[in-house]
Amino acid sequence: MFLKKNKKNLRSLFTIFAVLGLATTMLWWGADTSTINAQTTRGTLFDFTGNGRTDWTTLTFPAATGQPITWKVAGNPANPAPNAAFIRIFNYGNLGDNIIPGDFIGDNKNELVAYRQGTPGIFYVAPFLNGPGGVMLDRAVQWGTSAAADNPNVSGDYDGDGKLDYTVVRIVNNNFVWYIMSSSTNMMRAIPFGTRTGVRGFIRFYGADFTGDGRDELVFLTFDDAKTITYHIGDAVTGAGVITRNWGNFDTDISLSPADYTGDGKADLVAVRQTTSPATWYINNPATNAATATAFGIGDPGFSNNDRPVRGDYDGDGKHDIAVWRPSNQTFYVLRSTDGGITGQKWGDAGDVPLGATGTF
């Protein structure tokens, strides 16, 4: 497991990141992010090999808390030669951890990341395995505290340097406060944005760039008694509202963490309606308020026998693809944004959960 072979971890923990434990006291150090180049490229979501395509990944969760989570990654595109596909199967993180891979280092490859609740909470970051052997922990970053029920499923590149910023969001007096550690300056800031007052429920998402300036915005949704979903998009520096938009219904739709499906460099809103089969993907471009409806994947109003919508750019053109993982035959199906054709890739085992299937990983 990853707590072994962690020389880098110890070095990082005591020399680079020890000071970050102060985050739990929520100091404001006033990071100035306005001068950072917004045009820095960033890695493709869940691309572990660095070729610009989302890889095929499923996770096997153990039965008991504290037992290891097994990752199964097949390179995309899979080598069609028999037994030649790029495959890595390994354990990383334990049941109870938040699994949040992403490009935190800035090498255009996603790292393996598990966030362990605690006081402080810790992001465990390891490079993806390039060869045989175990996972080598690269760094352990203290951030947040489970004593305050901090939620780490909100990382984003909020300073626009091409690296994800370690972020947790906390409820303070019913308001959301986003604690962001800038990857470019290691400065931390606390941004108030949003409230749970007066809403029936809420989901907080990963950051996404809705304005096209290379910096992600803060994103969460709320729903009301009628289950109408409202997205709230906020500036990650000022906390000012940028966009508020109704999109989807909590009782009938699966809401994915927003991403760019249209190719304009700005994130779009996704509601995958389960009332019919095939399901219908309703995608809204908040920049224009234009919307599309695309039938794809098995739908189930009971949310049990449906295909699992997954996030990612599987054909590598810079646009997210409409895609699902089918539990019954353990196969990914991708509606390619390049040409509208369908790619199928069998991968994973019965009972697995595909990476990118929820708003939380």
Q: Which residues bind Ca ion (CB under 5 A)?
A: 157, 159, 161, 163, 165, 183, 209, 211, 213, 215, 260, 262, 264, 266, 268, 313, 315, 317, 319, 321, 337
**Which residue, 161 or 253, is less far from Ca ion as judged by CB?**
161
* CA atoms of 290 and 32, how far apart (whole Å): 34
CA 181 to mean position of chain CA atoms: 17
**Which residue, 52 or 301, is less far from Ca ion as judged by CB?**
52
Residues 6+ positions from 157 with CB-CB distance below 8 Å: 42, 163, 164, 165, 183, 207, 209, 214, 215, 216
At its nearest, how many Å lie between Ca ion and the CB of residue 75? Answer: 17
User: Per DSSP, what are the bridge partners of residue 343?
Assistant: 334
**Which residue, 157 or 253, is less far from Ca ion as judged by CB?**
157
At its nearest, how many Å lie between Ca ion and the CB of residue 319? Answer: 4
Residues 6+ positions from 263 with CB-CB distance below 8 Å: 317, 318, 319, 337
Burial 46-71 (b: 16+ CB within 10 A, else e): bbbbeebbbbbbbbbbeeeeeebbbb
At its nearest, how many Å lie between Ca ion and the CB of residue 163? Answer: 4
At its nearest, how many Å lie between Ca ion and the CB of residue 1? Answer: 28
* CA atoms of 174 and 150, how far apart (whole Å): 13
Please give the helix or strand (H or E) that residue 334 lies within, else none.
strand 331-335
Structure tokens at 219: 């994103």
**Which residue, 89 or 291, is less far from Ca ion as judged by CB?**
291
At its nearest, how many Å lie between Ca ion and the CB of residue 268? Answer: 4
Quick check: 109 and 115 in contact, CB under 8 A?
no
**Which residue, 234 or 348, is less far from Ca ion as judged by CB?**
234
358 Ramachandran zone, left/alpha/beta (phi>0; psi -120 to 50):
beta
**Which residue, 67 or 238, is less far from Ca ion as judged by CB?**
238
At its nearest, how many Å lie between Ca ion and the CB of residue 167? Answer: 10
